[in-house]
Amino acid sequence: MRDDAVRDAVSADPRPATPSEFAPGGPRNADLPLTPQPSPGRASVAFDLPGVFVGTAEYGEGPTGCTVVHLPAGARTAVDARGGAVGMSGGYDFNHAICLAGGSVYGLAAAAGVSDELLARRDNRTKWDELQLVSGAVIYDFSCRDTAVYPDAELGRAALRNAVEGAFPVGRCGAGRTASAGKVDFGRAEFAGQGAAFGTFGEAKVLVATVVNSVGAVIDRQGRVVRGNYHADLGERRHPSADYAAAIGDGAPSVMGNTTLTVMITNVRLTDVELLQVGRQVHSSMHRGIQPFHTLTDGDTMFAMTTDEVELTGVKPTGLGTLASEVAWDAILSAAE
């Protein structure tokens, strides 16, 4: 029986809190009359970064979705991709949009739809300095459903069209629509989602948003497992290390199909090297909230972006990374509420 915490987390959704292993196969996009739907989640996190727009959309038939972060003026970007199963397109060092999606490798089509929509918005102008750069990354979310529906170009266009400034939808929405965590054994996984948090430190601002679809369980600041690796027979969640220790020698298979996707946006002007290192610092820090992290079957990807608006004063980039790391932990916990 599910405990009260899990029941509360999914009270608005009739689907079970614990995903079930799916039977391979099922209808794909071409087999269904798909229509993009809004994907608002349970709430949204407000942020004060002018010129940053966020939109989500989903196919309820999946269910699966995508999330688009749109910066019309563009932003310098550093990418940190880790783990053994990265699914990414673009990976540019400057982007006008980031598209996160379900559907594994097929979901990369959503980023192409975002690119096409941006081309249309510029009246099909294709001069070199008019090109709109879009990077995309995907999670494997087929494990929690019995369809082959994936976020396609039309869903990517819809998410961009839904984008609004200053609000990031959180919960089981967008790219996190069917994300799950704590897959030491798939029968102990629980639904997660996408989360976000925003921090202001003097003139410096940091937004971190993350889609948690991890092998690892979500851990709070008290060291408690708050999502994933739920043992129904015990009525409790356990730290994955206890189960791995017990499984040594048993030959238990690894659970495939995972990944945590993260976007960090700051208004602080950083050099290319500093931006990359701060992104790596924050990405590394996220292991405190997701354990284990960056595994062989994860494709964890961080897009660190700056709008280059203010100078960093009082601290070095390491200090900014330390503050942003706490924001990232808040974002992880937001995904698991």
Lowest mean pLDDT among 20-24, 86-90, 198-202, 300-304: 20-24
- For residue 83, the model assigns a pLDDT of 85
Instruction: Quote the tokens at residue 327.
Output: 């924001």
The residue-averaged pLDDT of 145-174 equals 97
Q: Per-residue DSSP letters for 181-234?
A: E--SSGGG-EE-EEEEEEEEETTEEEEEEEEEE-SSEEE-TTS-EEES-EETTT
For the cut 80, the answer to whether the pLDDT of residue 254 exceeds it is no
For the cut 90, the answer to whether the pLDDT of residue 113 exceeds it is yes
Specify the higher pLDDT residue, 253 or 332.
332
% of the chain beyond a pLDDT of 90? 85
The answer to whether 330 touches 209, Cβ cutoff 8 Å, is no
The residue-averaged pLDDT of 51-67 equals 98
Distance CA 322, CA 61 (A): 41
Q: Per-residue DSSP letters for 106-162?
A: GGGHHHHHHHHHHHHHTTT---GGGPPPEEEEE---GGG-S------HHHHHHHHHT
- For residue 255, the model assigns a pLDDT of 77
The residue-averaged pLDDT of 115-123 equals 97
Residue-wise pLDDT tens digits, 287-335: 999 999 999 999 999 999 999 999 999 999 999 999 999 999 999 999 9
pTM score: 0.92
- For residue 1, the model assigns a pLDDT of 22
For the cut 70, the answer to whether the pLDDT of residue 19 exceeds it is no
Specify the higher pLDDT residue, 303 or 244.
303
- For residue 174, the model assigns a pLDDT of 98
- For residue 298, the model assigns a pLDDT of 94
Specify the higher pLDDT residue, 256 or 77.
77
- For residue 6, the model assigns a pLDDT of 31
- For residue 246, the model assigns a pLDDT of 87
% of the chain beyond a pLDDT of 70? 91
**What number does CATH give the domain 37-335?**
3.60.70.12
Residue type, 124: N
- For residue 253, the model assigns a pLDDT of 62
pLDDT averaged over the chain? 92
Residues serving a catalytic function are 259
- For residue 61, the model assigns a pLDDT of 96
- Tell me which DSSP letter residue 166 carries: T
Lowest mean pLDDT among 4-13, 173-182, 197-206, 257-266: 4-13
For the cut 50, the answer to whether the pLDDT of residue 16 exceeds it is no
Residue-wise pLDDT tens digits, 191-219: 999 999 999 999 999 999 999 999 999 99
Residue 116's closest CA among 53, 48, 68, 84?
A: 68
For the cut 90, the answer to whether the pLDDT of residue 17 exceeds it is no
For the cut 50, the answer to whether the pLDDT of residue 12 exceeds it is no
Q: Where are the domains of the chain?
A: 37-335
